[in-house]
Chain A
């Protein structure tokens, strides 16, 4: 046996097997699991049913609550089938207005996914085609198209390595801060370290001149270092809300912490924002098959939206709870849905499992004076006649 020939072969093969698997794994332990003492629970405080017309259906893709004439609370939602934004009086559940728009490339919005109603004359609709924000007036006339990819050719796609993609929802919305629209997007795949070091997921649109700037990187301790989080978009979702004192709060699905940031400044202050029941969350050491991935997602606690309630001065953070005994027939919608409540300093107050992700369309969650509204999926409403909201409030535990 020729040792001098075998040794380089062994070294080469060792390098091959060593380098071909992604061995950078991050383990995110919940240091406070089992130690938190609840003082409140979330209880149903009411419900609302908004009658839908024959061309509207539940599981609304996007909603925005806003203050209308005479400070009336209005609920609006996007109906892509009708190419319209419906506006209801939130209190009476009566339709006030329907804003129709064209789906034409030239004078409309071809693929609308979300919007921001700034005022009666300024409606910003996000157009997935061309990754742009389209400004329309109250007659639905297109006033301007604002590229969110620096006017780069949309279908050439190299911009996806540099600019966010967006899938807005009611719980991950376009937001207005001053005269800016703040629009968090995301990187859709697991971030290579070279991208994690520079990628900014949040766009800022100056409404006075349509200038677009970008801010907010993914926390390095979660998404840097070539940590592999599969390429399904789910693990790199970004949820955020406006917080008091010129701050923003960010929730990433894989972190027991939430990340506070000052508006207009980079950098985060992480604070504990986890569940008393959530377990360790670990990145992947290899690519999984579809079945393995669904099972893993079912077995893992994954955080979701975060909402600040200015009326009760609390935060609500949603959690898609792990199903420890999940089987290959389990689906992600079977995961229990919890709402964790924190005070305005992020002191843990309690958490309540309100149902499963089959029961609630949690991506339609928003806060009103009445409480935390979450769309309830009523299996008895076979004619899809209503948008059904259940409203929750924290109540003291006795």
Chain B
């Protein structure tokens, strides 16, 4: 009996390994080898050899030094600026997206007539927020028609009223309007996050809300004491997803392509890739450590 059970387990493991094998092979071919090579290239100066192949000569940290000292991006900014901007952008964008997509999911979760239609529009950003689509929908001309340029809020009637009929100086108004514009922009990028939140909200047991109601909790208390603790781990997932997504859409990826293929600097492009990876992982580790602590206190 024991022998039979063992062989059955072993057969099961063997099949399991068979199912996993595509991923393991892929991991070696498309992840491990590329990542090792990227690190390797980043320490080499790469040139084209006599027979068309690539030739490598070790150059130590030269690529990294050049990357931050002499190289510039396609819009002629320094790489230090590029990374600083990207990380500063994360600081505002990630909290905004996390909070606003939760807010939209809470709205979509309410009972009202026409809910199906509203949901259809709320998830449209899954398509309209695709990087290719947002790039192509952006206007390249016409911003001279509006003074502050682009943006839903700054083009709106309200902002015209604010600009022309209130005494608030332009110096104060412009950054505020830019900020509000940014929010509208972010909402339309948060389709997947809203979807994840909505499903999380729907999986909270109704009996929890019933208990809260019987105990006489206000809507405000219910939100902080029932809803938030129940979806805490999902908030963490959304934060991680958003960080990964924002880094993927960032300009850094395009710069790698430009260095490697338009300027033929494979070493520099690889060095940039390595810094890019380290940057993402560092941000993720910090965020997960901090949020993990907060989440544990809540649960």
* A, B: real partners: no
Residues of B at the A interface (CB closer than 8 Å) are: none
Residues of A at the B interface (CB closer than 8 Å) are: none
